[in-house]
């Protein structure tokens, strides 16, 4: 089979070494003679994976001692409910930067007093709002740092006068993060740190237990912190693959080194989009994501969209079709996407340009 270049928005491309480790573990997990798909989560071999995964999160992101990392099922979409359930007492503030940010706001609004303090919906979420006022009486501010559908990203940790909670599903581990600026960071693993089926949550423990409402046992973060993410059977296989993915990030030099590679990939691809007369980027230049590169055919060239998608597919480019709500193209260049993959896409775009010169 010829080389394929995977640009899927999620589940993400993972490093080959992670696939290889996963296959080995499916056959025989940690020398137990039992597949990781069938291993009991009440064994010392599994305890070692859980301990190792938590330790890698803390090491790679320099997580302070008063935070805990937990792993849950349900996807980041379930966290949209978990967050207000655990932190919303009087009022929560939300910044609307895309589909997932808006869904998070909707869940909070259904549970209590949630207010939208800024939005970029007026320009189809093509930029990150700036200069908005954060209510001093808010229990927390919720942000979505990277917007996969629209290709915008908040690239720095903001200073926030109230507890800050961030959905980092699609840019976690892609850049250094000052965890101390956040009360909580959460996200699905399937963009950068593993397969679908598990979420990560980094939580400041002292911030919990402040709401007066009853919190159902399974929706109380304290339950999962107390039981080390094993109150019920965890998503074992997904956590194992996450463990191997974090080991790979460490082997690459850590988050700082991976960030440098991500910036180079993004600069290469955006450079071609800006140079090539057939294409144009859709996100505000200052807010362009280094994870999800969104672009369309240039004005007057729209009729070439389907032809380019077919041509790119013939060249081994997988997953370039833009989200149905925006159309065009999207190249997701998460951590495991290589410079070689990006350069292959650039070469494909240049060849298509010559065909239509």
Pairing of strands 279-281, 292-297: antiparallel
66 is catalytic: no
Distance CA 210, CA 139 (A): 10
What does DSSP say about strands 199-204 and 67-72: parallel, antiparallel, or unpaired? antiparallel
Q: How many CB atoms lie within 10 A of CB 85?
A: 21
Question: Which of 96, 139, 157, 167 is flagged as catalytic?
Answer: 167
- Residue 191 is a catalytic residue: yes
183 vs 104: CA distance, rounded Å: 17
Handedness of CA 278, 282, 283, 289 (dihedral sign): negative
Pick the catalytic residue from 46, 96, 171, 191.
Answer: 191
Q: Dihedral sign, CA of 198, 203, 207, 209?
A: positive
Q: Which two tokens stand for residue 317?
A: 């480019």
Residues linked to residue 202 through DSSP beta bridges, in sequence order: 69, 185
> Of 21, 100, 139, 204, which residue is the catalytic one?
100
d(CA 179, CA 181): 5
Q: How far apart, in whole angstroms, are the C-alpha atoms of residue 12 and residue 23?
A: 17
Catalytic residue at 100? yes
Contact 128, 97 (CB under 8 A): yes
Catalytic residue ranges: 100, 167, 191
């Amino acid at each position: 089979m010829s080389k394929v270049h995977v640009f899927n928005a999620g589940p993400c491309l993972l490093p080959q070494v992670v696939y290889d480790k996963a296959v080995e573990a499916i056959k025989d997990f940690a020398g137990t003679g039992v597949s990781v798909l069938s291993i009991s989560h009440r064994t010392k071999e599994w305890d070692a994976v859980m301990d190792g995964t938590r330790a890698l999160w803390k090491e790679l992101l320099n997580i302070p001692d008063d935070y805990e990392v937990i792993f849950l099922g349900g996807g980041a979409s379930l966290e949209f409910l978990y967050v207000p359930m655990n932190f919303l007492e009087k009022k929560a503030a939300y910044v609307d930067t895309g589909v997932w940010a808006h869904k998070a706001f909707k869940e909070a609004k259904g549970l209590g007093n949630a207010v939208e303090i800024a939005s970029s919906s007026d320009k189809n979420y093509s930029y990150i709002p700036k200069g908005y006022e954060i209510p001093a009486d808010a229990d927390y501010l919720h942000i979505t740092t990277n917007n996969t559908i629209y290709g915008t990203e908040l690239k720095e940790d903001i200073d926030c006068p109230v507890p800050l909670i961030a959905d980092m599903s699609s840019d976690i581990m892609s850049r250094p993060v000052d965890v101390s600026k956040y009360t909580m960071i959460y996200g699905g693993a399937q963009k950068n740190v593993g397969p679908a089926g598990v979420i990560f949550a980094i939580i400041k423990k002292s911030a919990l237990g402040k709401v007066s409402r009853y919190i159902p046992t399974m929706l109380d973060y304290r339950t999962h912190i107390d039981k080390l993410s094993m109150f019920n059977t965890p998503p074992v296989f997904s956590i194992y693959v996450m463990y191997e993915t974090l080991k790979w990030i460490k082997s690459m030099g850590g988050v700082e080194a991976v960030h440098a590679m991500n910036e180079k990939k993004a600069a290469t691809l955006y450079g071609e989009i800006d140079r090539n007369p057939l294409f144009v980027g859709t996100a505000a230049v200052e807010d362009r994501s280094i994870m999800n590169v969104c672009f369309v055919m240039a004005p007057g060239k729209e009729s070439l969209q389907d032809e380019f998608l077919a041509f790119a597919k013939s060249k081994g480019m997988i997953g370039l079709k833009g989200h149905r709500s925006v159309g065009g193209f999207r190249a997701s260049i998460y951590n495991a996407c290589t410079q070689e993959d990006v350069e292959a896409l650039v070469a494909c775009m240049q060849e298509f340009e010559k065909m239509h010169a």
